[in-house]
Structure 1
Amino acid sequence: MGSCASLPERRIVLLGSKGDGKSSSGNTILGEKVFTTKASDNSVKAQSARRKKRRYGSKITIIETPGFFDTNNNDKEMKSEIIKALVECAPDVDAFVIVLKVREYTSQEIGVLQKHLNKINKNVFDHTVILFTFGKHLKGKTIEEFLKANSQLQKLVDKCGGRCHVIDNKHWKRRKRGNKSNRVQVKNLMETIDKMRNKNGCFTNELFQKVEEQIQEEIGKMNGENLPEKEKQEKAKKNVQNTMLEQAEGVTAETLMDALLNAA
């Protein structure tokens, strides 16, 4: 836990499996299409988007990670995208949002989910919110009723202090009021994140701090270059990403994702 670097801005990291709606959720939160949402896309992807206009009281930065449960793929691209996400997270983030689809889960799927979640440091859950997608699949039930019938998912929500919301990136777009409105649900999500941040601060760890130091060092090397500050920042991040990728030779994608989530 740490103090937030910039209170007027929310930095949110999306975690989840391919097909559960991470990209669409990022677009719904930002209120514009920024992320590629084709279900056929490879899960090897880390994207960051910054909304220039204020939304729900502040600027919002969304960092979408590669498939959280798909890190058995150890190719160079997967590792590169996880490192990109790590660099984007420095020096801290306001919230991790675990994106899960509303559906029936088999005991095997719950087991895989639990296996990954068990590795996450307990402190991370103090900065985590669960976001269920495909809300239409609730078929008239409330999210509380859905969880009541899924004890393992309820335990996960409990781990996150009961912080849980539901959206439907396709069917709840147009309604402006009520529980079946993405506009209402995202507003509630932002309020939950603000309350969580006010109580627990922002999340940071030694790696995030170290990455930020490296970024600042790279920017310092460009003092003689006549470049806009934003361009210096992006160039510095790219240099740090390349250095980290070289250092990660022989390290698995799963280990890198563990590092991002401060795994125990």
Structure 2
Amino acid sequence: MCSPGPHVFLVVVKDGSHFTEKRRRALEEHMGLLGPRVWRHSLVVFTSLGWPRLNSDQEVLESEALGWLRNQCGQRCHLIDLSDGSRASELMEKIQRLVVANGNGVFEMEESVCSAIAEEKRRVEEDARARFLKMKTHRAFMRELARPLPDMRIVLLGAKGSGKTSSLNTILGWDQGRWSPGRTARCAVGQGVVFGRQLTVVDTPGWWMNFFGHETAAFDRHQIRLSPSLCAPGPHAFLLVVRPDRAFSETYRRAVQDHLELLGGDVWSRVMLLFSFGDWLGETAAERHVESEGEPLRWLAERCENRTHVLNNRTAGDGFQVRELLGKIEEMVAGCGVGHWRAVGEEEDQLEMTMRVEEARATERKMKMEQQRRDTRRHLDKSRRLPEVTLVLVGGSKTGKSSCGNTVLGRDCFRADRPTTSCVLGWARVDDQVVRVLDTPGGFSQTADFLKGAPSCAALVVVNASAAFTDLQGEALEAQLGGLWARAVVVFSHGDWLGDTGIEQRLESEGPALRGLVDKCGNRYHVLDNKRRGDGSQVRQLMAQVESMLVAESLVTAASSALPRHTTAKLCKSPSLMPNDHQLSNHCEYFELNSNIYESHPPHKLSTHCSELQ
């Protein structure tokens, strides 16, 4: 593109953006495609609009990732204001100095690498041409058999963020802002008349791209299975929405296969591969993208019998892309020989009945929780707040413990972009209360030791609301807590995943393992949306629940220590023997006398104690 080769590579980073470890690795991998010598010709350019965050090129960067990038580029960097183009001349001077330092030479790829790229390009073009001709021949035959469908029904399927809702808006001719831009948490139906056809389009919840079918939450799996019933008597087509701007790996392919086959193995005869973000492809044909992406996407295209379509959701244009899509669907229906896809009625009826039972249980659980929260507010109004609270984050890996800890403290104390390998203690003053949070590695085995150390120490059992919860996870948490359920609150991370659905409905759908966990914790649970850290109300509600729990647990412990053994067992099991108002008003005295963990393990010693337990 710039023969004989470029003199300089400008690595552009937006000033003030979060250049995370994940982005650093992505940059390293992409630059690595050009070979290690590329860094000798590279210069970092920080761009800003208006007043920059970085005051000078030599400012010490707090981010380890940015520090790594500067080192890779030999500390060559420049800050430029895009609003007025200031300092552009200085950038050109630095570029010229870099060129001179490299002996005025250009960057050249190794001959073997260039040959391999040329060979791969030739193969892709040949295979793409063959795929296109095969598809064109098949469509010509189907077009003669196709008949207009005055009433067309479509179901959209795909991973989270694939562009299903945007595609629905484009197909129906709606403005992109008509439906909420947030995640589709339950099936939604859109209808409209498009090119003389009455269209019914069903949007479905997406799944994580790297989650197999059994890893997706049961509620989301149920929604996928029920989606055909929302366009009775059945859909004519399933549009599998895939983003072309993301690499399509074998893991993603298997995830797609697992989730589509929730509808049955015969669903593939009705599936068309819909590439959203069509503007990303530009002039690249779908067939060429399929061939260049690799074997997983080629497998998927073959499974769909090469039925593909590209949709640019950024522009409606004259509607040609939608008209073409509807024509392809009519051709596919003609090839199936049957008007629409039919689900197994008995299975749908059974699933609908199960979900009605789960909804009734969810309503009952929610009412119980709301009553508990009213009692909590009443109890806390009659007592002084605890001056200090320590929260131990408990759970498996990749559940969102570190992110939840940061949300509670209102600042970045824990690294959420990498696995937690050792205990880390953070603290902050939250509403005039000192809150300490101990982040632990997944499956940390010494959790019970900390909970036994002081009455003002509680466990936050973090569960990923967007994922399935298995019996093994429940058993692992039980081993971690050592039976100290009276000091535990279940915290559901990924609260944004819930959308307009309640956590109770998902909790009941997930199965006995998760229901049992919440029940063991006395029906104490809370949802945290870590993307809304500025919303202090969700943290205040959690802390109120924790304080109420600690007060009740401490008074039961104090009372049981003064009673005979047989009475103690009765006291611990009976929910009616709760602290009275007089006990609540004096609970702080008990904590002041017994909360000596901070003397034996203050913040700096507590972190050392954690390391010794690894």
TM-score (norm 2): 0.30
Aligned partner of 1:47 among 188, 192, 196: 188
Distance 2:300 2:241 in 1: 12
1:65: which partner in 2?
Answer: 204
Q: How many angstroms does 1:118 deviate by?
A: 6.1
For 1:36 and 1:184, how far apart are their aligned partners in 2?
Answer: 23
Do the aligned partners of 1:29 and 1:186 also contact (CA within 8 Å) in 2?
yes
- Corresponding residue of 1:124: 267
1:205-242 deviation per Cα after TM superposition (whole angstroms, max 9, x unaligned): 2228965xx9xxxxxxxxxxxxxxxxxxxxxxxxx95x
Q: Match of 2:172, as an amino acid? A: L
Q: Which residue of 2 aligns with 1:162?
A: 306
Q: Is the 8 A contact 2:172 2:199 kept in 1?
A: yes
- Counterpart of 1:180? none
Q: What's the offset of the Cα at 1:56?
A: 2.3
Asked if 2 retains the 8 angstrom alpha-carbon contact of 1:83 and 1:245, the reply is no
Secondary structure of 1:149's counterpart equals helix
Give SS of 2:233's match.
Answer: coil
**Percentage identity across aligned positions?**
27
Equivalent in the alignment of 1:186: 322
4+ aligned runs moved over 6 Å, structure 1: none
Question: Cα 1:205–1:81, aligned 2, differ >3 Å: closer, same or farther?
Answer: closer
Return the match for 1:199 from 324, 335, 348: 335
CA–CA distance in structure 1, aligned partners of residues 150 and 354 of structure 2: 30
CA distance 1:10–1:142, shift in 2 (3 Å): same
* Aligned AA (1:47): A
Change (3 A) 1:203 1:140: same
Q: Which ranges of structure 2 fall in alignment gaps of 5 or more residues?
A: 1-147, 360-507, 512-614
Residue 355 (structure 2) aligns with: 245
Q: Which amino acid aligns with 1:42?
A: R
Is the 1:12–1:97 contact (alpha carbons within 8 Å) kept by the matching residues of 2? Answer: yes
Inter-partner Cα distance in structure 1 for 2:234 and 2:257: 25
The answer to whether the 8 A contact 1:24-1:169 is kept is yes
Q: How far does the alpha carbon of each residue in 1:38-71 deviate from its partner, in whole angstroms, 9 at most, with x for none?
A: 2xx23412100111xx312310000111115577
Name 2:252's counterpart in structure 1.
Answer: 109
Change (3 A) 1:245 1:30: same
With over 3 angstroms needed to count, the CA separation of the structure-2 counterparts of 1:75 and 1:117, relative to structure 1, is closer
Q: For residue 9 of structure 1, report the CA deviation from its aligned partner.
A: 0.5
Task: State whether residues 127 and 196 of structure 1, in contact with CA within 8 Å, keep that contact through their aligned partners in structure 2.
Answer: yes
Structure with larger RCO (C-alpha < 8 A, sep 6+): 1
1:94 aligns with 2:94: no
Residues 1:10 and 2:149 are matched in the alignment: no
Residue-pair matches, total: 207
Query: The residue matched to 2:194 in structure 1 has which SS?
Result: coil
Aligned to 1:145: 288
Structure 1: distance between partners of 2:252 and 2:154:
26
Q: TM-score, normalised by structure 1?
A: 0.66
User: Which has the larger Rg?
Assistant: 2
Give the superposed CA RMSD. 3.3
Give the Cα–Cα distance (whole angstroms) in 1 for the partners of residues 223 and 288 of structure 2.
Answer: 37
More helix by share: 2
Distance 1:194 1:102, change over 3 A: same
| Partner deviation per Cα, 1:148-171 (whole Å, 9 max, x = no partner) | 11232122122112110001111x
Which residue of 274, 279, 282 maps to 1:136?
Answer: 279
The superposition leaves residues 60-101 of structure 1 with CA deviations (integer Å, 9 ceiling, x where unpaired) of 00011111557745376x477557635313321111110111
CA contact (8 A) 1:20 1:100 kept: yes
**2:187 maps to amino acid:** A
CA separation of 1:158 and 1:57: change in aligned 2, threshold 3 A:
farther
